[in-house]
Amino acid sequence: MFALTKEEMSILGPLKTPKRIQDFLDALSLNFEKHGDTCLSPRVVLRERHAHCIEGAMLAALALRLHGARPLLMDLASAHGDQDHVVALFQESGRWGAISKTNHAVLRYRDPVYATVRELALSYFHEYFLDDGKKTLRSFSAPVDLSRFDSRGWMTDEKDLWYIVHALDDAPHTQILLPGQAHRLRKADKIEIEAGELMEWKKSMRKR
């Protein structure tokens, strides 16, 4: 199916629920891109056993698709000086949830309790800040359906999938803040900043 090997199917097949997919992503080590920027396909992630946010989101989207869901990604876009984050979207009983690969204690999995994609995106707002506490989440994209890239072999490509990064960047984005609202935002508290410094993976760590 989808040009996946039997071994790949044996890994992805049992991941029948978003919770199982998230648990699988959590067990993968973080891709620190030691040899330069990457955007690895699901096949390469399964082989290398590591991923960063968009790589994990694409693998999650593939796993969801194998069980009948649309392979949807959403881009969370930040203000200058911070990094965007990408999650895989899913629905249960008409409510939205998200699967997320991150190294932080926050910006993680979201249970499917959100009535709209906007509600889901806003759930990340207060946890999205820089080391000085400045909140930086500014917009979120419309869902991007990866099935539009099937002809390019996104699931099994051995090359980096930069065209998916560009598609997320080019997707329509909805602004979160009203004009003039950014300078009135309260910074994260000291205890929130300290919690935000928690990391799941250090560069020297690699789970078995």
pLDDT in tens, 26-61: 999 999 999 999 999 999 999 999 999 999 999 999
Q: Please, what is the angle between helix 162-170 and helix 53-66, to 10°?
A: 90
Contact yes or no for 58/73 (Cβ under 8 A): yes
What is the pLDDT at residue 204? 53
Residue 171, CA distances (Å) to 15, 91, 121 in order = 28, 20, 15
Residue 108: partners with Cβ closer than 8 Å, 6 or more residues away: 100, 102
> Where exactly are the structural domains of the chain?
6-196
Q: Which CATH architecture has domain 6-196?
A: Roll (3.10)
The predicted model scores a pTM of: 0.95
At 94, which amino acid appears? G
Which residues pair with residue 95 across a beta bridge? 92
pLDDT in tens, 131-162: 999 999 999 999 999 999 999 999 999 999 99
Question: Confidence class of residue 165 from pLDDT cuts 50, 70 and 90?
Answer: very high
